[in-house]
Amino acid sequence: MTEKRMSRWYFGGLASCGAACCTHPLDLLKVHLQTQQEVKKRMVGMAIHVVKNDGVLALYNGLSASLCRQMSYSLTRFAIYETVRDMLGSSSQGPMPFYQKVLLGAFGGFTGGFVGTPADLVNVRMQNDMKLPPEQRRNYKHAIDGLFRVAREEGVRRLFSGASMASSRGALVTVGQLACYDQAKQLVLGTGIMGDNILTHFVSSFIAGGCATFLCQPLDVLKTRLMNSKGEYAGVTHCLRETARLGPLAFYKGLVPAGIRLIPHTVLTFIFLEQLRQNFGVRILS
């Protein structure tokens, strides 16, 4: 009889928060690069500009909103994906087929993206606030203050501005991260060369991070522009059209920093998640 441990439903949210604390400066720089109207600075130049003008701690602007987002968006998508996967896996012979993982990841990510939209909106605004002139800054004290102020000053519906885009992006990211991670891990373990250890988790999550970056970057650019807008876009279609005028590469603006941020975030998330599972997961005897 062997012992196996399964994740608890909230481990994904905790793991994502841990990863966000490590990669938040990269996320902030990505938002700054994506909201440039013209390509003026690259990643290193933007980092120097932020630190020079606002100090090192400015790289952590909006951290509370980022953690709030992870505890809504990531907790929801991980909970749906892992709960359903484990339920189906325990009642069937062997792991789920890849197409089922993709469908489940898309559903979980779409739901999580919708749930996390308000925190995501505040996150983008807080990260981008320092770029605005002092008289145009929103100056949210923290994530909860931002959520209440948006609801009070702009209406509750504004909290879900860009929800369709955020949900679509969430579906693609979750397919790239969770479904591809599970499949990559299954293939790596199937070779018999490596066991269920941290090296396997690293290789599998690195592959998943690359897949997620490629899949979601166009939607990520549109989502960021919509959430940071001050009414210049009439909707998703208008934002899509205006971005397309800048050329097809505009949809991949910030691809390198997005990858530099998303891949380490994915790697850290799954390493933290696997450590939580192995040390604090539910024990199952088989």
pLDDT digits (tens, 9 = 90+) for 174-224: 999 999 999 999 999 998 888 899 999 999 999 999 999 988 888 878 877
Top-confidence range, 56-65, 218-227, 265-274: 265-274
Q: Return the higher-pLDDT residue of 39 and 148.
A: 148
Whether residue 16 contacts residue 78, with contact meaning beta carbons closer than 8 Å, is answered with yes
* pLDDT score at 88: 82
* pLDDT score at 245: 84
Is residue 34 scored above 80 in pLDDT?
no
Going by pLDDT thresholds of 50, 70 and 90, the confidence category of residue 135 is confident
Whether residue 17 contacts residue 70, with contact meaning beta carbons closer than 8 Å, is answered with yes
Whether residue 89 contacts residue 95, with contact meaning beta carbons closer than 8 Å, is answered with yes
What angle separates helix 163-174 from helix 98-115, to the nearest 10 degrees?
Answer: 150
* pLDDT score at 1: 54
* pLDDT score at 93: 66
Over residues 135-163, the mean pLDDT reads: 88
Q: Return the higher-pLDDT residue of 56 and 104.
A: 104
Q: What is the dihedral of CA 75, 78, 83, 85, to 10 degrees?
A: 170
Q: Return the higher-pLDDT residue of 173 and 137.
A: 173
* pLDDT score at 79: 96
Using CA atoms, how far apart are residues 144 and 107, in angstroms rounded to an integer? 27
Going by pLDDT thresholds of 50, 70 and 90, the confidence category of residue 126 is confident
* All structural domains of the chain: 3-285 (1.50.40.10)
Q: Return the higher-pLDDT residue of 112 and 59.
A: 112
* pLDDT score at 14: 96
Residue-averaged pLDDT of the chain: 86
pLDDT digits (tens, 9 = 90+) for 109-124: 999 999 999 998 888 8
Is residue 39 scored above 60 in pLDDT?
no
Phi, psi torsion values for 4, nearest 5 degrees: -125, 145
Whether residue 59 contacts residue 51, with contact meaning beta carbons closer than 8 Å, is answered with yes
Query: What does pTM read for this prediction?
Result: 0.82
